[in-house]
Amino acid sequence: MLGQLHDPIAAIATAPGRGAVGIVRVSGTGLAPLVQALCGRPLRAREATYLPFADGQGGALDHGLALFFPAPHSFTGEDVLELQAHGGPVVLELLLARCLAAAAEPEATTGRARLPGLRVARPGEFSERAFRNGKIDLAQAEAIADLIDASTEAAARSASRSLGGAFSREIGTLREALIHLRMLVEATLDFPEEDIDFLQQADAKGQLQGLQQQLAAVQQRARQGALLREGIKVVIAGQPNAGKSSLLNALAGAELAIVSSVAGTTRDVVAQTIQIQGVPLHVVDTAGLRESSDEVEQIGIERAWRQIEQADALLFLHDLTRAQQAQYIAADAAIRERLLAHLPATVPVLEVWNKADAAPGATEAGEAGTGALQLSARTGLGIEALRQRLLEIAGWQALPEGVFLARARHVQALQQMGEHLSQAAALLAQSAPALDLLAEELRLAQGALNAITGEFDAEALLGVIFSRFCIGK
């Protein structure tokens, strides 16, 4: 892989399928001979030119717009050529093939290939080159993919903020404060005669506390950003005929699951992603939990338990119309006991009582004691209260200044930084702190922070991140 970093690359940069316009993109060093071969003339920098794309045999493959971005003022930091043609897949494949063939052909004047080594780009390689050439940092590179993959408007807006550098600027502010603190500690190590008095006079403890407060604020926004990107998995579980499929349909606002009064109708997992205030929630309807001799239903019940074990949050759905039946109460108790054995303590369980419209003497939909909710999936009564409770369970807090889109690895890196800063604070609080250990904790804190924007050497991580991009990105 390292040996291919300087190869010129080409790719179709628009999505597969038909469209009004399709783009073929080329990036590399010294594209002028290739531009001449494809366009028949030099191109002015950053100016769209309408012309025929030469097929190499005196004809034209298509007519369209050509744009040339000379290095370093381009997305990748290299020379970039974009050919905007009609968006038929055959046309674009022919145009890409012509780019590769023209690059290998010898120039009339020199006899050398116009652009030696031109090859089809790997997924994400254009963005990877932008990162390697200092045009964007790693967090911004990830934001490109997140913007393309955004499933909600809020996620798209947050990804756009990250791409614009909002998250990176937050990280940069933290880094500057951390570097200044490291400088103080390192200076004390270099000049031991100054000892701890130097750190006290520079208010190193106060600077560290300020840094921890800044970190806490960034962590909060990063957690919200990760929630916008990842969402949470919410599993609906309960006995047969409690209304699980009806609840899924009510939350989704569509008839996704079959609803029937026949127990055991749902025999497989039905999943749907919904959004509440821009937060994606992956809601999973499962088979009713009970003892069954039906082989197919047993498979569905086992799949339900597997989904429950993977849940980020669980809706334990009950039937208000059977709330006083001893057999029903006993079955619910057995399910609850198994839930406690299968679910980690960190997974929240929300008790929900359905069929409030049909239960005699039921209170109005809302709180039902011990944090439970009453609702009617059939009429929609209480559904909005459930949506708000799901947001609370997810940990969503709409921040007035907006959030930037973040990933789980960003949240983890900030958490690691916080742990090292806590260790540093404990060392600094000692009457005779071990300055070498303090310096090491601060160095490790900066290492965790640098992992977010990519100011480190980790080929394996870069390969994973950029391999998930589109081919032409």
260 in a labelled binding site: yes
263 in a labelled binding site: yes
242 in a labelled binding site: yes
243 in a labelled binding site: yes
205 in a labelled binding site: no
356 in a labelled binding site: yes
266 in a labelled binding site: yes
292 in a labelled binding site: no
245 in a labelled binding site: yes
- With beta carbons less than 8 A apart as the criterion, state whether 284 and 236 touch: yes
241 in a labelled binding site: yes
133 in a labelled binding site: no
376 in a labelled binding site: yes
233 in a labelled binding site: no
- With beta carbons less than 8 A apart as the criterion, state whether 243 and 374 touch: no
Q: What secondary structure, in 3-state letters, does the chain show? A: CHHHCCCCEEEECCCCCCEEEEEEEEEECCCHHHHHHHHCCCCCECCCEEEEEECCCCCEEEEEEEEEECCCCCCCCCEEEEEEEEECHHHHHHHHHHHHHHHHCECCCCCCECCCCCEECCCCHHHHHHHHCCCCCHHHHHHHHHHHHCCCHHHHHHHHHHHCCHHHHHHHHHHHHHHHHHHHHHHHHHCCCCHHHHHHHCCHHHHHHHHHHHHHHHHHHHHHHHHHHHCEEEEEEECCCCCHHHHHHHHHCCCCCCCCCCCCCCCCCEEEEEEECCEEEEEEECCCCCCCCCHHHHHHHHHHHHHHHCCCEEEEEEEHHHCCCHHHHHHHHHHHHHHHHHCCCCCCEEEEEECCCCCCCCCCCEECCCCCEECCCCCCCCHHHHHHHHHHHHCCCCCCCCCCCCCHHHHHHHHHHHHHHHHHHHHHCCCCCCHHHHHHHHHHHHHHHHHHHCCCCCHHHHHHHHHCCCCCC
261 in a labelled binding site: yes
Can you list the positions of beta strands (E) in 262-305?
270-276, 279-285
287 in a labelled binding site: yes
82 in a labelled binding site: yes
Lookup: tokens for 276: 């509440």
265 in a labelled binding site: yes
249 in a labelled binding site: no
Lookup: tokens for 211: 């840094």
Binding residue ranges for GTP: 241-246, 260-266, 285-288, 354-357, 376-378
- Binding-site residues for K(+), in ranges, read 241, 260, 262, 265
Annotated binding-site residue numbers for (6S)-5-formyl-5,6,7,8-tetrahydrofolate: 25, 82, 135, 473
Question: Which residues belong to the annotated binding site for Mg(2+)?
Answer: 245, 266
What residues are designated binding site?
A: 25, 82, 135, 241-246, 260-266, 285-288, 354-357, 376-378, 473
